[in-house]
Structure 1
Amino acid sequence: MPTIKIYDPALCCATGVCGPSVDPELTRVATTIFLLEKKGIDITRYNLGSEPQAFIDETNIQELLNTKGTDALPAVMVDGEVKLVGRYPTNGEFAKWAHISVSELTKKETKSKGIELL
C-alpha cells in the first residue's frame, strides 16, 4: 500500500475548508483525502502554519523550501519520492498513486426518501 504525504502551505485550518470564501480546489482535495482514508490508503496532510516540524523533518521538503520557497507548496510525496510541486494532485493522480480506479474517488450522492405528511 502506498504512503502519500501532502505538504500544504499555511492554511487557516487543517484542510483550508473554512472561512467566508472556501476554495473549491481545497474542498475537492479534502473530499478525495477522506475517500482515500475510507479505503485504507495511508495518506497524511501537513499544514505549514500548524505543523512546521513535519516540513523540517522531511529532507526533500526542506530542500524544496530552501530552493523554491513556499511557492513549492503544496508538495506531494508518494513512498518517499516527491511527485508533485506547486499544485494539488488531480483525482486521476491520486487514483494512480493509490492503485484504484478514479471512479472510486467520486463521492456518490445518496437520495433520501422524503417523509409524507398527512
Structure 2
Amino acid sequence: MAKIEIFDPALCCPTGVCGPHVDPELTRIANAVFLLEKKGVDIKRYNLGNEPQFFVDEKEVQKLLEEQGIDALPVVLVDKQVQKIGGYPSNQELATWTGIQKTEIVKKETKTKDLPLL
C-alpha cells in the first residue's frame, strides 16, 4: 500500500479544523486522513507552522518551496513522489492511491430522522 505524506501550510492546529470559520476542505481532508489511518493506511500530515524540519528534510518539498514559495502548499507525496502541488488530494485520488473504495473515505452522516427520540 502507498505511503502518503501531506505537507500543509502553517495551520493553527494539526488539522486546521478550529476557530469560528472552518474551511470545509480542511474538514474533508482531516476526516479522510482519520478514516484512512483507521484502515491501516500509512498517511501523515505535516504542518509548516509546527513541524518545519519535515519540510527541510524532504528535498522535493524544499525545492518546491524555494521555487514557488508557500503557494506550493499543500504538497502531496505518494511513495516519495510529488503527486499534487497547491491543493489537497480529492477523495478519488486517495482511493486510487490506497486501493480503498472512495465511499469508505467519506464519513457517514447521521440523519436526524435516524436518531432515537428522547
Distance 1:26 1:108 in 2: 17
Q: Following superposition of structure 1 onto structure 2, how do residues 78-93 of structure 1 map, counting pairs within 5 Å?
A: 78-93=78-93
Indicate yes or no: 2:116 matched with 1:113: yes
Query: Residue 44 of structure 2 aligns to a residue in which SS?
Result: strand
Distance 1:109 1:10 in 2: 29
Q: Where in structure 1 are there 5+ consecutive unaligned residues? A: none
Distance 2:99 2:27 in 1: 22
Q: Tell me the equivalent position of 1:13.
A: 13
Cα distance, 1:95 vs structure 2: 0.7
Aligned residues: 115
Distance 1:16 1:51 in 2: 14
Q: Where in structure 2 are there 5+ consecutive unaligned residues? A: none
Deviation digits for residues 70-111 of structure 1 (CA, Å, limit 9, x no counterpart):
000000000010000000111000111111111111212344
TM superposition score normalised by structure 2 = 0.93
Indicate yes or no: 2:41 matched with 1:41: yes
Moved over 2 A (4+): 109-115
TM superposition score normalised by structure 1 = 0.93
Distance 1:40 1:46 in 2: 18
Distance 2:12 2:109 in 1: 28
Deviation digits for residues 4-51 of structure 1 (CA, Å, limit 9, x no counterpart):
000000001100000111001100010010110111000000000000
Distance 1:37 1:52 in 2: 22
| Counterpart code for 1:2 | A
Percent of counterpart pairs with the same letter? 59
RMSD: 1.0
Distance 1:82 1:15 in 2: 21
Distance 1:41 1:67 in 2: 31
Cα distance, 1:114 vs structure 2: 2.9
